[in-house]
Amino acid sequence: MRKVGIMGGTFDPIHYAHLIAAQSAMEFAALDEVWFIPTSSPPLKPNAPLATEEQRLAMVNLAIQGEPRFRGLDIELNRGGTSYSIDTIMELRAMYPMHQFHYIIGSDRIHDLPRWHRAQELIQLVGFIGLNRPSEPLELDQLPTQWQSKLTIAPMPLIEISSTELRKRVKAGKALRYYVPDEVESYIRRHRLYE
Ligand SMILES: Nc1ncnc2c1ncn2[C@@H]1O[C@H](COP(=O)(O)OP(=O)(O)OP(=O)(O)O)[C@@H](O)[C@H]1O
Ligand SMILES: O=C(O)c1ccc[n+]([C@@H]2O[C@H](COP(=O)([O-])O)[C@@H](O)[C@H]2O)c1
């Protein structure tokens, strides 16, 4: 049996906090691998991503190259439409019956977990590894008890980097260096993303 963490996200663009979150979850929960899965259409976000699906996946693959335990998956892009996690988990469980999956999420997403599509079924299929995020600090007591019992909190240095802030930085002509891997910055500049 392999323990696999699922790092789902819009990744518009992927940044260092995503990578540190994945590494923290991997260390804490003794995961064998983390699979990064870019969404097609993110369920609870008001705006559509700015970069294309191909560009977001390309940036994920550039960011994780060199870490053999990290892998980028196009399963949600191939399925298209709204990327509900229940569909992804069911598909992955059917494809990899010997794997045990854990969903990795930041505190902003932890708070809206009960509003996820078919949340009651999802909770039966997968455990969650949560990471604190300074913009929306963890408030576990706000979460129904049945969710609290399915959630493990992994320690991670608080890092207030968001893709929204990075898109604003590009628009304002500011540097991305030290916020994203160099290869991701080069890709963003080459494709003139977020300008
Ligand atoms: N700074 C961070 N610390 C911890 N977790 C994070 C951080 N940034 C993102 N995450 C988590 O990573 C996952 C994917 O996030 P996402 O791709 O939406 O990035 P984002 O920075 O929140 O994007 P945006 O600003 O566009 O909303 C989510 O579970 C999110 O909570
Ligand atoms: O299944 C849902 O209803 C659902 C609702 C909100 C978020 N998610 C998943 O959570 C992950 C992070 O979402 P986001 O919007 O922060 O990029 C991504 O994989 C989404 O598909 C899933």
The answer for residues whose C-beta is within 8 angstroms of residue 57's C-beta and 6 or more apart is 38, 72, 74, 77
Mean pLDDT of 161-190: 98
Q: What is the spatial distance between Cα 44 and Cα 37, in angstroms, rounded to a whole number? A: 16
Rounded to the nearest whole angstrom, what is the distance from the C-alpha of residue 138 to the centroid of ligand 1?
A: 14
Q: Two tokens at 45?
A: 């976000």
User: In the predicted model, is pLDDT for residue 84 greater than 90?
Assistant: yes
Q: What is the spatial distance between Cα 21 and Cα 132, in angstroms, rounded to a whole number? A: 9
Residue 41 in contact with ligand 1 by CB distance below 6 A: no
Give the model's pLDDT for residue 144: 86
User: In the predicted model, is pLDDT for residue 146 greater than 90?
Assistant: no
Rounded to the nearest whole angstrom, what is the distance from the C-alpha of residue 150 to the centroid of ligand 2?
A: 17
ipTM of the complex, rounded to two decimals: 0.99
Give the model's pLDDT for residue 143: 86
Ligand nearest to the CA of 135: 1
Atom index in ligand 2 nearest the CA of residue 76 equals 21
Residue ID of nearest Cα to ligand 2 atom 3: 116
Q: What percent of the chain has pLDDT over 90?
A: 92
pLDDT in tens, 33-83: 999 999 999 999 999 999 999 999 999 999 999 999 999 999 999 999 999
Mean pLDDT of 131-141: 91
Mean pLDDT of 84-109: 97
Mutate to test the pocket of ligand 2, among 83, 101, 103, 136 (most ligand atoms within 8 A of CB): 83
Ligand nearest to the CA of 163: 1
CB 149 within 8 A of CB 135: no
Structural domains in the chain, CATH included, are: 2-160 (3.40.50.620)
Q: How confident is the model at residue 139 (pLDDT cuts 50, 70, 90)?
A: confident
User: If DSSP codes are grouped into helix, strand and coil, which group holds residue 83?
Assistant: coil
Give the model's pLDDT for residue 141: 84
Q: How confident is the model at residue 147 (pLDDT cuts 50, 70, 90)?
A: confident
User: In the predicted model, is pLDDT for residue 108 greater than 90?
Assistant: yes
Rounded to the nearest whole angstrom, what is the distance from the C-alpha of residue 130 to the centroid of ligand 1?
A: 12
Q: What is the spatial distance between Cα 128 and Cα 145, in angstroms, rounded to a whole number? A: 14
Rounded to the nearest whole angstrom, what is the distance from the C-alpha of residue 12 to the centroid of ligand 1?
A: 10
